[in-house]
Amino acid sequence: MMLELRHRGGCPGPGGAVAPPPREGEAAGGDHETESTSDKETDIDDRYGDLDSRADSDIPDIPPSSDRTPEILKKALSGLSSRWKNWWIRGILTLTMISLFFLIIYMGSFMLMLLVLGIQVKCFHEIITIGYRVYRSYDLPWFRTLSWYFLLCVNYFFYGETVADYFATFVQREEQLQFLIRYHRFISFALYLAGFCMFVLSLVKKHYRLQFYMFAWTHVTLLITVTQSHLVIQNLFEGMIWFLVPISSVICNDITAYLFGFFFGRTPLIKLSPKKTWEGFIGGFFSTVIFGFIAAYVLSKYQYFVCPVEYRSDVNSFVTECEPSELFQLRSYSLPPFLKAVLRQETVSLYPFQIHSVALSTFASLIGPFGGFFASGFKRAFKIKDFANTIPGHGGIMDRFDCQYLMATFVHVYITSFIRGPNPSRVLQQLLVLQPEQQLNIYKALKTHLIEKGLLQPTLKV
């Protein structure tokens, strides 16, 4: 900060005040200097009052979160050391969350989408709350209101895109929805512009820089939470297996790395997370790859998990019925020579998806943890242990899902790069929402193409 002020021509005076450089034509002293004192003070406010000169060490401490561990657990574990008490609390709550997750899977795709939306909102709330607590002394106007407004706008945009892509047959029957979908992007942009203008109008003298910090804070938080949760739902529409295997692989890596580190950890892995060890990192990797391979084999047997999630307007619900693609049909693979000797067989039957699961599990165990390291660095920057105290022994929702967002992006990119082919039902839905003239033009172009390829006689009608 001192260098910045010096470059601008000022130098610190007594008490840290900054004197601006002399103006052209001004005298060095005398009555003129006395008369211009108030002008100089005003000039200081105008030129330097909006600079945020606080260092990292000046960031106020956030009060520690209260312990929300149920009293019954506290009494049952009162005789244990803090290390083992935390181990049991984490274990019990982990099993409880996994059981609830299985229940939601049983309830179907729509409940999973609501779960993703709920987690997104809670993660956004935890990150925004940190910003509000850190800078609460500035009493910035409209910060929280605008943050939630931008969350609403971005969700409207992304979920509107999802409705347009996957619910076209339903939209076609509702005239009001047709208007909203046709002008969806314009409406979304208009809503965002309204929030942008409100932010500009809320700017306060001397706090400009801080307010732009908060503006960037909100938008980065939206990038981390909303866009990634949107990709999670996109993956879910490709088939529940593309949702379950990646997410369960991250959960498996989190649990097994913790267990290996707890019992065998000796070598620190990274300074950002002192409790992370190489033993836990390596043990989590091998455990996750094995788990992902087995989970892929089990889930690939059932249409409920492998078929794309589609909305059927005739039954007004989501359905998962299809003829499984080649990814989910058993194939024979020749074994390498050294495995033939060990297993005493020439071939092995696998689902092709199991091979893809190795790539997903490898990312979940080697790259996914860097999402957690990023979150650890973020928490250290603001002197907090956890994002919140929502889950006893675990911290906030964001503490448990910091690795999932990286995973969601990877799975989406992986599907679009290596897996996805044309979806006939989705293509049909998109055709149905077109105007009759557009449908006729597509029909004529398709007919001409088939005739040129010799697949259709000119006299025949289709």
DSSP code string of 136-194: GGG--TTHHHHHHHHHHHHHHHHHHHHHHHH-HHHHHH-HHHHHHHHTHHHHHHHHHHH
Do 353 and 298 touch, CB atoms closer than 8 A?
no
Which tokens belong to 283? 């043990």
Burial 402-426 (b: 16+ CB within 10 A, else e): bbbbbbbbbbbebbeeeeeeebeee
Which tokens belong to 28? 């060095």
**pTM for the full predicted model:** 0.75
- Angle, CA 416 vertex, CA 410 and CA 419 arms, to 5°: 100
* pLDDT reported for residue 79: 75
Of 187, 296, 255, 213, residue with least CA distance to 393? 255
Q: Which helix (H) or strand (E) holds 334?
A: strand 331-334
Cross-strand partners of 18: 12
- The contacts of residue 174 (CB under 8 Å, 6+ apart) are none
Do 398 and 376 touch, CB atoms closer than 8 A?
no
One-letter amino acid at 110 equals F
One-letter amino acid at 12 equals P
CA 224/CA 215 separation, integer angstroms: 14
* pLDDT reported for residue 135: 66
* pLDDT reported for residue 121: 95
The torsion region of residue 281 among left (phi > 0), alpha (psi -120 to 50) and beta comes to: alpha
CA 131/CA 212 separation, integer angstroms: 12
- The contacts of residue 418 (CB under 8 Å, 6+ apart) are 356
Of 222, 218, 225, 219, residue with least CA distance to 120? 225
Burial degree of 228 (CB within 10 A; 0-12, 13-18, 19+): buried
Do 86 and 393 touch, CB atoms closer than 8 A?
yes
* pLDDT reported for residue 53: 44
Q: How many residues are there in the chain?
A: 462
Which tokens belong to 177? 């929805």
CA 187/CA 160 separation, integer angstroms: 10
Burial degree of 293 (CB within 10 A; 0-12, 13-18, 19+): middle
Do 281 and 257 touch, CB atoms closer than 8 A?
yes
* pLDDT reported for residue 77: 76
Tracing tokens 């002020």 back to the chain, one arrives at 5
* pLDDT reported for residue 20: 46
One digit per residue, the tens of pLDDT, for the chain of length 462 reads 334 434 444 444 444 444 444 444 444 444 444 444 445 444 444 443 444 444 444 555 555 556 666 677 667 777 777 778 878 888 888 898 889 999 999 998 889 999 999 999 999 999 998 888 776 655 677 888 999 999 999 999 999 888 887 776 667 777 777 888 889 999 999 999 999 999 999 998 888 888 898 899 999 999 989 999 999 999 999 999 999 999 999 999 999 999 999 899 999 998 888 888 999 999 999 999 999 999 999 999 999 999 988 877 667 777 788 889 899 999 999 888 888 888 888 899 999 999 999 999 999 999 999 998 999 898 888 888 888 888 877 788 998 888 888 899 999 999 999 987 555 555 555 555 556 776 677 767 777 766 666 666 665 444
CA 352/CA 296 separation, integer angstroms: 9
* pLDDT reported for residue 335: 86
* pLDDT reported for residue 52: 43
One-letter amino acid at 78 equals S
CA 35/CA 29 separation, integer angstroms: 10
